[in-house]
Amino acid sequence: MEQVSEPFSFDPDEVRERYRRERDKRLRDNGPDQYIEMAGDYARYAEGDPYVEPGFTRDPIADDIDIAIIGGGFSGLLAAARLSERGVSGLRIIEAGGDFGGTWYWNRYPGAQCDTDAYCYLPLLEELGYMPREKYAYVDEIFGHSQKIGRHYDLYDRAIFRTRVRSVSWDETLGRWRIATDRDDDIRARFVIMALGTTTRAKLPGIAGIESFEGHSFHTSRWDYGYTGGDNTGGMTNLADKRVAVIGTGATAIQCVPRLARDAGRLYVFQRTPSTVDWRRNRPTDPEWFASLEPGWQRRRRDNFTVQAAGVPVEEDLIDDGWTRIFRAISSPKGENRPKTREERDRVVELADMAKMDELRHRVEEIVADPATAEALKPWYRVMCKRPTFNDEFLPCFNQDNVTLVDVSDSKGVERITPRGVVANGTEYEVDLIVYATGFEISAEFKRRLGIGINGRDGLSLFDHWADGLKTLHGFTTRGFPNWFYIGVSQNAFDLNMTSMFDDQARHVAYIIDETLQRGARTVEPTEDGVQGWLDLLGSFHIGGGGFLAECTPGYYNNEGKPTGGSGFFGAYAPGPARFNQLLEDWRATGDLPGMELA
Ligand code: NDP
């Protein structure tokens, strides 16, 4: 940790009080219910696909397969890759989009980029022999990488694209899952792997009058380049004479606002809570450096990121970026400076956090010329209360004459949408286009987040089974749902580098399926004791996250200010991903799948 010592350039009591005030003014009684689920009348915002020709039809598929992977983003691709490496064939990937890519298929908004170091984030780099172009990859490269994985592992022939799974139901007589889709398919699979990712279902704010708008509107995950012109690099020439509103200032808006500021005649950015915006400093990959990397380098680099995120000091910070600087800044001091008590540690970490946020607020002042705008852009909360962002172009936009920041924090968000535009703070802003940069059902309760019916043995709904809380073994399997696997954030460990987490989970799931097949079993599922043992272990951690998150300004990290509800975002295995992976490795090494039952 970088040492923070008195005197500070801020008064900790005042900062603490300001954080509380800023949180309280944003808290809403309806928490996550302020958002509209993208179904029914709103489905057009989330279910259309602007990247394929409309009007596609095909005959329903009736097929018996071994393994159905639902989702063709990185988690599904990794599951397919790790199964293939084990020689397990007979799999198919069912994907709503017209190609692989998942979130990077849908989120092709201008400026879309991954904030995590590409050498860590892009999976299977060594397997594919691929060198990322830059330290932070843009969406075209990331989407292209998904396609490369698809080709490398021969997955295109085994993909069922443009097909949305509606439900999966266990058929005891067949010993298979029956998969119903929006194309009336009847696919019967022995094993199902849910690989839906975290940003699967887009959401809209429930702003009054939203359907009355007579101009054009879309969600960032369905960017309409037919309307704007251009592509993810910009060049949206159709917007030159248009007035555009962006609602939201999360990680997505931070990336698309600079491109809109460049191309739109007029841009209004409606901000309820400012993001932290740290520097980006992207740079091309040095081919000599890349060629010098020793085999196994990607795993080492991924682990280097992961352990730093857990606050563990490393000899060398291989990543050395905005993320790892945050980790270092707010981790508890080690060695001689180690705090003696929990209270002391909490205080030291809190002060370090304040210092980091103070630095980020100063950055706003240094860049944004108008003092009132700069003031409104300053974030007042602890650094990990909201997803940090990194961008060199966002803040300077507010020095442009065609860009206006509209701070809607006092009214808890945009007030109303009218046929002509957006009402905020009593003023109507007439616009031609509204872009909803309002995020995804990331931490909503599971039923809402997944949007797929899941019915296990005797027709039991997964969501009823989990009504009082998740009941899994390691987060991947649950009793009464034979041969069913979930890859994603649940009762496991959360890794900010999502693809790393997905890969380790995919390896584990592939191992269990392979073992089940090799042992000639029909089904595999956790035992009652296996699940209970895992729940007992998780219960012993007394996770402090609820406390920390309860004090945070609302957002999806804390289920919109209701941190004890929802499906959680950070995973339940508190010791973190490095220890979790070790635990899984030890579990596999026993060779007898403890806590699971083969039949
Ligand atoms: P977020 O949920 O982070 O942001 C939604 C935004 O909409 C917030 O600023 C929110 O304000 C605002 N909002 C919601 N309702 C209203 C309202 N009624 N009036 C005004 N504003 C409103 O969604 P994003 O799409 O930005 O990001 C989602 C996640 O996707 C990221 O956190 C990240 O995990 C991922 N992502 C990853 C990237 C990467 O680099 N890998 C890049 C982009 C996204 P408030 O904060 O007050 O709720």
Ligand 1 centroid distance, CA of 25 (Å): 18
Q: Which two tokens stand for residue 268?
A: 């209004």
pLDDT at residue 424 tops 90: yes
Query: Using a 6 Å CB cutoff, which residues line ligand 1?
Result: 26, 114-115, 199, 205, 207, 247-253, 270, 272-273, 387, 408, 413-414, 437-440, 554-556
Q: What is the 3-state secondary structure (H, E, C) of 399-440?
A: HCCCEEEEECCCCCCCCEECCCEEEECCEEEECCEEEECCCE
Ligand 1 centroid distance, CA of 440 (Å): 8
Q: Do 235 and 483 contact (CB within 8 A), yes or no?
A: no
Residue ranges per domain, the chain?
Answer: 12-37+203-280+344-436, 63-201+442-598
pTM over 0.85: yes
In which band, very low, low, confident or very high, does the pLDDT at 189 lie, cut at 50, 70 and 90?
Answer: very high
Summarize pLDDT for 403-415 with one digit per residue, the tens: 999 999 988 899 9
250 CA closest ligand 1 atom index: 26
Residue nearest to atom 20 of ligand 1 (CA): 413
pLDDT the model gives residue 246? 98
199 CA closest ligand 1 atom index: 30
The full DSSP string for 442-491 is: SSS-HHHHH-SEEE-GGG-BHHHHTTTS---BTTTB-TT-TTEEE-SSSS
Judge residue 163's burial from the number of C-beta atoms within 10 Å of its C-beta, 0-12 exposed, 13-18 middle, 19 or more buried. Answer: buried
pLDDT the model gives residue 46? 79
In which band, very low, low, confident or very high, does the pLDDT at 530 lie, cut at 50, 70 and 90?
Answer: very high
Closest CA to 530 of 453, 457, 474, 466: 474
Ligand 1 centroid distance, CA of 567 (Å): 18
Residue nearest to atom 17 of ligand 1 (CA): 413
Ligand 1 centroid distance, CA of 386 (Å): 9
Ligand 1 centroid distance, CA of 255 (Å): 11
Number of other residues whose CB lies within 10 A of the CB of residue 208:
12
| Ligand 1 pocket, mutate which of 115, 121, 387 (most atoms under 8 A from CB) | 387
Ligand 1 centroid distance, CA of 273 (Å): 10
221 CA closest ligand 1 atom index: 25
Residue 419: CA count within 13 A, CB half-sphere: 1
Average pLDDT over residues 487-498: 94
Closest CA to 195 of 389, 8, 404, 450: 450
Ligand 1 centroid distance, CA of 337 (Å): 37
Ligand 1 centroid distance, CA of 464 (Å): 29
Q: Compare 569 and 67 and report the one with higher pLDDT.
A: 67
| Ligand 1 pocket, mutate which of 30, 272, 391, 412 (most atoms under 8 A from CB) | 272
CA distance 230 to 245: 18
Ligand 1 centroid distance, CA of 6 (Å): 35
Q: Do 307 and 578 contact (CB within 8 A), yes or no?
A: yes
Q: How far is CA 483 from the centre of its chain?
A: 26
Fold of the CATH domain 63-201+442-598: FAD/NAD(P)-binding domain (3.50.50)
Q: Which helix (H) or strand (E) holds 389?
A: strand 389-390
| Ligand 1 pocket, mutate which of 252, 412, 501, 556 (most atoms under 8 A from CB) | 252
Judge residue 188's burial from the number of C-beta atoms within 10 Å of its C-beta, 0-12 exposed, 13-18 middle, 19 or more buried. Answer: middle
pLDDT the model gives residue 336? 82
pLDDT at residue 543 tops 80: no
Ligand 1 centroid distance, CA of 330 (Å): 23
Residue nearest to atom 36 of ligand 1 (CA): 251
- φ, ψ for residue 87 (rounded to 5)? 80, 10
Summarize pLDDT for 341-393 with one digit per residue, the tens: 988 999 999 999 999 999 999 999 999 999 999 999 999 999 999 999 999 99
Q: Is the dihedral of CA 549, 554, 559, 560 positive or negative?
A: positive
Residues contacting 540, CB < 8 A, separation 6+: none
**Given the structure tokens 């064939």, which residue do they identify?**
89
Same topology between domain 12-37+203-280+344-436 and domain 63-201+442-598 = yes
Helix axes 74-85, 139-152, angle to 10 degrees: 30
Judge residue 89's burial from the number of C-beta atoms within 10 Å of its C-beta, 0-12 exposed, 13-18 middle, 19 or more buried. Answer: exposed
Ligand 1 centroid distance, CA of 253 (Å): 7
| Ligand 1 pocket, mutate which of 45, 321, 438, 443 (most atoms under 8 A from CB) | 438
Summarize pLDDT for 442-459 with one digit per residue, the tens: 887 888 888 899 999 999
Q: Which two tokens stand for residue 50?
A: 């602007």
Buried b (16+ CB within 10 A) or exposed e, 92-103: bbbbbbebbbbb
Hey, which residues does 217 pair with through a beta bridge? Answer: 434
- The reply to whether omega before 7 is within 30° of 0 (cis) is yes
Closest CA to 389 of 427, 351, 437, 436: 437
pLDDT the model gives residue 434? 98
220 CA closest ligand 1 atom index: 25
Average pLDDT over residues 111-130: 98
Q: Compare 34 and 38 and report the one with higher pLDDT.
A: 34
Q: Which amino acid is at 66?
A: D
Residues contacting 523, CB < 8 A, separation 6+: 175, 482, 483, 516, 598, 599
In which band, very low, low, confident or very high, does the pLDDT at 5 lie, cut at 50, 70 and 90?
Answer: low
Length of the chain in terms of residues written: 599
Ligand 1 centroid distance, CA of 437 (Å): 6
For the chain, give percent helix, strand, coil, nearest 5.
Answer: 40, 20, 45
254 CA closest ligand 1 atom index: 26
Average pLDDT value over all residues in the chain: 94
Residue nearest to atom 28 of ligand 1 (CA): 439
Fold of the CATH domain 12-37+203-280+344-436: FAD/NAD(P)-binding domain (3.50.50)
Q: Is the dihedral of CA 430, 435, 440, 445 positive or negative?
A: positive
Q: Which two tokens stand for residue 337?
A: 């400076």
CA distance 456 to 170: 5
Q: Do 169 and 178 contact (CB within 8 A), yes or no?
A: yes
Q: Which amino acid is at 135?
A: K
Ligand 1 centroid distance, CA of 237 (Å): 26
Residue nearest to atom 15 of ligand 1 (CA): 205
pLDDT at residue 502 tops 70: yes
Q: What percent of the chain has pLDDT over 70?
A: 98
Say which range, 116-130, 416-430, 542-556, has the weakest mean pLDDT.
Answer: 542-556
- Cα separation values, 6 from 65, 328, 335, 396, 416, Å: 65, 19, 21, 32, 46
